[in-house]
Structure 1
Amino acid sequence: MDREEKDDILEKIMIEYGNELVRLAFSYVKDAETAKDMVQNTFIKCYQNLDSFRFDAQIKTWLYRITINECKDYLKSWHYKMVQVKSLINVTTKSILPSTEKTVIDKYDNEEIKDTIFSLPKVYREVVYLYYYESLNSEEIAKVLDISVNTVKTRLRRAKKRLESMIKEAELNGR
């Protein structure tokens, strides 16, 4: 494959999957700019390895896999851990009073549900995100995460139960 072909393919891939991949990365790193960086790294790796892609699998699942791996690597990195420590220090040193922005955001059910989903353990959060927000089926999720279809179904079922109990608890607490 010559350079021009690779450039054309990459451009099409970026247009078609860019926004989806940013949303996927955001579900892991919870920061818009970092998510964009992760997707940029994904596209770089995609371009570098396009010659070796056999097109046996769907390119979408391949891109999801690269993005998830990028995010997982980032979350294990020293840089991320230091950012988390600094953030924790900043939060604990600030005033306890909730910000106006937070108060407004808390009024919207969508935001509360998103927060509830983000509070799930990673193994549940990733299947919920891929299933409900990216509309992948169980088989596609299994390929992306490199787990069995039954594991995907089990995690989805357990995530739904956890979400249900978390939402009921929030309603009881007057949220």
Structure 2
Amino acid sequence: MEDFVAEALQAADIDLLFDQIMTDYGQDMLQLTYSYVKNNAVAEDLTQEIFVKCYKALPNFEHRSNLRTWLWRIAINHCKDYLRSWHHRNIILTYENEVEPVSSHDNVEHAVLRLEEEMELIKAVLQLPIKYREPVYLYYFQEMTIKEIELLIGVKQNTIKTRLRRAMTLLKESLEG
């Protein structure tokens, strides 16, 4: 992807590059924003706003980090700005539970139990304070390295490791309690 980015930027083919970015990262970006705001409609709106920001900033992308890290930094900052905004603080948020369809190959009872466990884990993660939720989401759900997370959120690696350990403790307490 990075070679494609460099070639597209040199050829000034921003629209083609942006289409590729939306295809490659659209769903991940939506999941990232949802992990912050816990509301599908708000996450969709924020994701659109983030992609507009990315489109406008793309010609100035300097390759100091990889494209994914750059995109995530924009998304995380935008989500944090939203969470600090008047609009967010003065509106009651509710979150919606979505159920994925059960595969016809799965035993229905097993699939329902697995789905309940996954939903319980997701709810528990979403209840964590943002300083713990953020590294958990990036590390376990986005499969980023500690170093990538450090670059994204601007927190030292040891602090990230400590927050991950603390988050696991909190999750264990929440799920067992």
Bin of the TM-score, shorter chain as denominator length? 0.7 to 0.9
Q: Deviations over 1:106-128 (max 9, x none)?
A: x8121111111111111000111
| Aligned AA (1:112) | E
After superposition, residues 41-80 of structure 1 pair within 5 angstroms as 41-80=49-88
Residues 4, 33 of structure 1: alpha-carbon distance in 2 compared, 3 angstrom cutoff: farther
Deviation, 1:82, is 2.1
Distance 1:164 1:134 in 2: 21
Residue equivalent to 1:16 = 24
Identity %: 38
1:57 is paired with a residue whose SS is coil
After superposition, residues 25-104 of structure 1 pair within 5 angstroms as 25-84=33-92
Q: Deviations over 1:26-67 (max 9, x none)?
A: 000111121111111111111111122111211101111111
Distance 1:3 1:26 in 2: 34
Q: Which moved more, 1:1-10 or 1:114-123?
A: 1-10
2:141 to 133, 142, 147: 133
Distance 1:34 1:152 in 2: 27
CA RMSD of aligned residues (A): 2.3
Deviation, 1:137, is 1.0
Distance 2:175 2:68 in 1: 32
List alignment gaps of at least 5 residues for structure 1: 89-100, 170-175
Displaced runs of 4+ in structure 1, greater than 6 A?
A: none
Q: Which has the higher helix share?
A: 1
TM-score under structure 1 length normalisation: 0.79
Residue equivalent to 1:7 = 15
Deviation, 1:19, is 0.3
